[in-house]
């Protein structure tokens, strides 16, 4: 099969590699679509600590079952599926207390040690493969993985109905976070991004309050919940100072492993600000499938480009420049497409 292989930081190529072979409880998936996200860039740049090279990237995956192991009965050949990339040991101290996303041997398909889905085929354990309802657009269903991460983020927030949210970053994660806020009980959600084009996208998917700078929102007293979806230190530092007394700051965006941010410990103490992280997925993938099928996202307005495997480098350049909306690789395509 053809696959993108990252041999070492900042060096990738399109290669012919052996087809993956499913084990007894594995599923072979013909990849329909794989989204490009910020974590992929951190992997390529050598900034994501768990990554071991060489690796096939890609972890936001939808496709069709091509084959199954001899002990797989849950799905069959031809099923349309979404693939959860999270792999855990199930035995360590964290897994044993229900915190498997913090697994001591955590492994993420396409980002840590196991090959991902920027390829024509991939293999995943059957427990990670979720069948999709017939009405779901298969290519757009690659958005289910980031949706599952956002759902876990909301699981961690000490939410109350009627609170006001500020979200930094109108990329894929920020757009999903803001779209889900009303369903999570927010009275309002404000989305901030310094890229005017991204704010236009936010409006199109239904987010009414969008600003280039939170100062424009003039939200007296701060916000009850502030969520960073950028991983950018300047945004994190700005967001921490905008939390209302007694409010919550969530670090959702992925920053480089060695990044540091300045904040006021006295302010955290005196204002009783809760600071919470959110790492990947925890028992939220199946719910993400249900939410996606129920139309929780304006998914069609979020995906702007579909690239071939051969155009992976072009797709990365577009992502780094902030061009387009959600960018996907569709390994079965022979020609790249602009969808919006």
**Assigned token pair, 90:** 């199930």
Please tell me whether residues 188 and 260 are part of one structural domain: yes
Can you give the pLDDT at residue 326?
96
Query: Looking at residue 200, which CATH number applies to its domain?
Result: 3.40.50.720
**pLDDT at res. 218:** 77
Instruction: Report the C-alpha gap between 214 and 222 in whole angstroms.
Output: 10
| Alpha-carbon span 142 to 35, nearest angstrom | 6
Per-residue pLDDT at 53: 98
Same domain, 60 and 109: yes
Please check whether residue 284 lies inside any domain of the structure: no
pLDDT at 325 over 80: yes
* Candidate from 4-18, 216-230, 283-297 with smallest mean pLDDT: 216-230
pLDDT tens column, 61-72: 999 999 999 999
Average pLDDT over every residue of 152-181: 97
Per-residue confidence (pLDDT) for residue 219, from 0 to 100: 87
Whether residue 152 is contained in a domain is answered as no
The pLDDT assigned to 257 comes to 82
Q: Strand 86-87 and strand 107-108: pairing?
A: antiparallel
- Cα(79)–Cα(64) distance, rounded to whole angstroms? 6
| Distance (Å, whole) CA 340 – CA 300 | 9
Of 113, 115, 12, 16, give the one whose Cα is nearest residue 58: 115
Residue 50 inside a domain? The answer is yes
Residue % of the chain over a pLDDT of 90: 94
* Residue 272 DSSP code: T
- Secondary-structure percent of the chain, ordered helix, strand, coil, rounded to 5: 30, 30, 45
Let me know whether 116 and 185 are in one domain: no
Task: Please indicate, yes or no, if residue 35 is contained in any of the structural domains.
Answer: yes
Please, are residues 88 and 107 in contact by the beta-carbon 8 Å criterion? yes
Domain membership of residue 143 (yes or no) is: no
Contact call for residues 162 and 189 (beta carbons, < 8 A) = no
How does DSSP classify residue 55? B
The stretch 17-37 carries a mean pLDDT of: 98
Residue 226 lies in a domain: yes
CATH classification at residue 35: 3.90.180.10
172 confidence band (pLDDT: 50, 70, 90): very high
Shared domain check, 207 and 86: no
CA distances from 101 to 95, 111, 292 (A): 8, 14, 22
pLDDT at 262 over 80: yes
Domain extent at residue 248: 157-277
Candidates 226, 227, 223, 264; CA nearest to 244 is 223
Cβ 22 vs Cβ 69: under 8 Å: yes
Domain match, 6 and 122 both = yes
Query: Which residues touch 183 (CB under 8 Å, ≥6 apart)?
Result: 296
Counting every residue written for the chain, the total comes to 340
Same domain assignment for residues 246 and 324: no
Q: How far apart are CA 281 and CA 225, in angstroms?
A: 20
How many helices and strands (H and E) does the chain possess? 9, 18
What six digits make up the tokens of 41? 């860039």
Condensed to tens digits (0 to 9), the pLDDT of residues 188-221 reads: 999 999 999 999 999 999 999 999 999 999 788 9
* Number of compact structural domains in the chain: 2
| Domain contains 53 | yes
Write the pLDDT tens digit of every residue in 103-146. 999 999 999 999 999 999 999 999 999 999 999 999 999 999 99
Predicted pLDDT at 220: 87
Instruction: Report the mean per-residue pLDDT for the chain.
Output: 96
- Coil, strand or helix: which one is 266? helix
306 shares a domain with 273: no
Give the mean model confidence (pLDDT) for residues 258-277: 97
Clarify whether residues 98 and 162 are in a common domain: no
pLDDT at 18 over 90: yes
333 backbone dihedrals φ, ψ, rounded to 5°: -75, 150
- Distance from chain centroid for Cα 329: 15
pLDDT at position 212 is 97
């Amino acid at each position: 099969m053809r696959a993108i292989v990252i041999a070492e930081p900042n060096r990738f190529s399109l290669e012919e590699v052996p087809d993956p072979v499913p084990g007894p409880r594995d599923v072979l998936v013909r990849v329909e679509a794989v989204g490009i996200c910020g974590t992929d860039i951190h992997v390529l740049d050598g900034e994501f600590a768990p990554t071991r090279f060489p690796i096939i990237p890609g972890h936001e995956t939808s496709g069709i079952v091509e084959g199954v192991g001899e002990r797989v009965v849950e799905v069959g050949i031809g099923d349309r599926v979404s693939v959860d990339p999270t792999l855990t040991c199930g035995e360590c101290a964290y897994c044993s207390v229900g915190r498997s996303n913090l697994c001591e041997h955590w492994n993420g398909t396409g980002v840590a040690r196991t090959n991902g889905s920027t390829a024509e085929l991939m293999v995943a354990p059957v427990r990670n493969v979720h069948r999709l309802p017939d009405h779901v657009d298969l290519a757009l269903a690659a958005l289910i993985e980031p949706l599952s991460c956002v759902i876990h983020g909301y699981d961690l927030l000490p939410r109350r109905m009627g609170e006001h949210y500020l979200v930094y970053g109108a990329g894929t994660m920020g757009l999903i976070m803001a779209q889900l806020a009303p369903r999570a009980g927010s009275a309002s959600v404000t989305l901030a991004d310094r890229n005017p084009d991204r704010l236009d996208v936010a409006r199109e998917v239904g987010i009414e309050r969008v600003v280039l700078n939170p100062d424009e929102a003039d939200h007296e007293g701060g916000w009850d919940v502030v969520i960073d979806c950028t991983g950018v230190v300047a945004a994190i530092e700005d967001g921490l100072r905008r939390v209302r007394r007694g409010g919550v700051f969530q670090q959702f965006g992925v920053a480089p492993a060695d990044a540091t941010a300045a904040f006021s410990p006295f302010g955290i103490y005196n204002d009783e600000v809760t600071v919470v992280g959110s790492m990947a997925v925890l028992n939220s993938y199946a719910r993400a499938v249900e939410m996606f099928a129920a139309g929780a996202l304006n998914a069609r307005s979020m995906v702007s480009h579909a690239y071939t495997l051969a155009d992976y480098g072009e797709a990365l350049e577009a992502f780094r420049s902030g061009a387009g909306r959600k960018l996907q690789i569709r390994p079965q395509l022979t020609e790249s497409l602009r969808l919006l």
